Amino acid sequence: MRIAHLKASQKTKQTPIGEIPVEWCTSLLGDLISIKHGYAFKSQHFADSGECVVLTPGNFFEEGGFRSRGEHDRYYTAEFPPEYLLKAGDLIVAMTEQAEGLLGSPAIIPAGGKYLHNQRLGLVSIRDQRRLHRDFLFRLLNADPVRRHISVTAGGTKVRHTSPAKILSTRVYLPPLPEQRKIAEILSTWDRAIEQIGDLIAAKQRLKKGLMQQILAGKLRFPQFGRPTGGPDVLPAGWSRARLSDVFERVTRTVGDARDAEPLSITATVGFVRQRDKFSRVIAGKQLQDYILLRRGEFAYNKGNSDAYPQGCIHRLMEYEQAAVPHVYFCFRGKGDNVDPGFYAFYFQLGLLNGQLSRLINSGVRNDGLLNLPADGFFKMTLLVPPVPEQKRIAVALRVCDAELSALRRHLAALQQQKKGLMQKLLTGKVRVTTRETTEDVS
């Protein structure tokens, strides 16, 4: 069979931007490609549905590639110049940093949809197909040196942006065309492997969510604990309802002189994060001593709303023995031996209090960005309470799901890191590939 070989680069030559194989050259991107600005589509003609999607920097992955935004995509309902309708296979680049890491990100337009070339995006065209392969160019635009050059030369303060001229001023390494094709082919193989793991993670997440919806509501039970519920308003045998204040007690202890308490905030999707990581500094200031001292295994409810958690979110502290959290959070812990906190960590994660929270929140968001929700109302909400042994068994089952997801995420991160290292070596000629012209037959 015929296989591609990787080998260390041997004969090299020195160039102004580094050492490269003798068969390679350097070039300005401006000598290889051109970049066209998009069209200023008028926002009054945007709609939630339609035929033609108006692309934005949000349609790019930070690491490069096309991202479908699903229900968040916007469609254009008015007429527009036909040359701004993109074709499958077109290469585009984000020229505005709508979110960190998006500036300069490239993407290839997929088949099966109609996409419009918006003004914040650049349409890339290759000047000479005999010198540059499109799939290699996609890799090249996503390489660290090119992305760094785009970032360093970007303008703007609040929102950073680049221009075709700045991108075209980048100098790059250029292998012969057959080697470009082989490099793109190898990296595409890695992409497919990474995509498969990503799809498996998404499938596992859906499976876990479906299991949580069944098992946390008593619709699915382990046989040793009895039969499932017989209907939406019927509790499984042995289950009860109780106020949150009957199962948990509020935590109000303050930090005071506990100097080893790390100041934390809560984000909707991640949970507890260090203030120094989220804000690049500790924002607590002199108020730190008035923060709540939260201990390992205790819960905190952040009244800030978000797209993912419009009613706020509850997280359990597990990463620290103790931490300092803002005093506006409602903090609580389980009462005695009648509750398994691990069970309720999943209960809150699923958002099983959201319906009650929606009814309790008075009038949306206050001026400080927090929801209007009094503490007494929060602690009067009702919970489902299975017997403690069943709580523990449910928590173990769901932790197994989490362990499987964590293992898959580690595998994905390892693949991404390995691909990044290989990509760096392939795009600089430190590792060479044999092309069809030189590949040997082996058996």
Report which residue type is found at 80.
F
Q: What's the pLDDT at 7?
A: 66
Q: What's the pLDDT at 5?
A: 57
Contact, 109 vs 89, CB < 8 A? yes
Given 141, 173, 205, which residue is the final one in a domain? 173
The pLDDT tens digits for 132-183 are: 999 999 999 999 999 999 999 999 888 899 999 999 999 999 999 999 999 9
Report which residue type is found at 33.
I
Burial string for 114-148 (b: 16+ CB within 10 Å, else e) reads ebbbbebbbbbeeeeeeebbbbbbbbbbbbebbbe
d(CA 154, CA 97): 10
Give the CA dihedral 398, 404, 405, 408, nearest 10 degrees. 180
Token pair of 134, please?
Answer: 């499109």
d(CA 370, CA 312): 9
Residue 392 maps to a domain: no
Kind of pairing between the strands at 292-295 and 12-15? unpaired
Bridge partners of residue 250, in order along the sequence: 332
The residue range of the domain holding 101 is 25-173
Same domain, 143 and 51: yes
Same domain, 159 and 248: no
Same domain, 34 and 158: yes
The H or E element containing residue 221 is: none
Given 385, 404, 422, which residue is the final one in a domain? 385
Same domain, 169 and 244: no
Alpha helix (H) residue ranges in 110-218: 134-141, 144-152, 164-168, 177-215
For residue 278, which phi and psi values (nearest 5 degrees)?
A: -75, -40
Same domain, 148 and 249: no
Residue 255 maps to a domain: yes
What CATH code is carried by the domain that includes residue 258?
A: 3.90.220.20
Residue 137 maps to a domain: yes
In the chain, what is the greatest distance between 2 CA atoms, to the nearest angstrom? 78
Q: What's the pLDDT at 442?
A: 28
The pLDDT > 70 percentage for the chain reads 94
d(CA 103, CA 411): 27
Residue 434 maps to a domain: no
Residue 416 maps to a domain: no
Q: What's the pLDDT at 361?
A: 84
Q: How many CA atoms lie within 13 A of 105 on its CB side?
A: 22
Token pair of 20, please?
Answer: 């490269």
Residue 277 maps to a domain: yes
Residue 331 maps to a domain: yes
d(CA 176, CA 4): 16
pTM: 0.83
Burial string for 227-255 (b: 16+ CB within 10 Å, else e) reads eebeeeeebbeebeeeebebbbeebeeeb
Q: How many domains does the chain have?
A: 2
Q: Which residues contact 427 (CB under 8 A, 6 or more apart)?
A: 139, 140, 143, 173, 183
Residue ranges in the chain whose pLDDT is less than 70: 1-10, 230-232, 363-369, 436-443
Same domain, 162 and 255: no
Given 135, 155, 173, which residue is the final one in a domain? 173
For every residue of 250-285, which 3-state class applies, written as one string? EECCECCCCCCCEEEEEECCCEEEEHHHHCCCCCCH
Same domain, 139 and 246: no
Residue 195 maps to a domain: no
d(CA 102, CA 147): 10
Same domain, 148 and 286: no
Same domain, 169 and 31: yes
Q: What's the pLDDT at 278?
A: 82
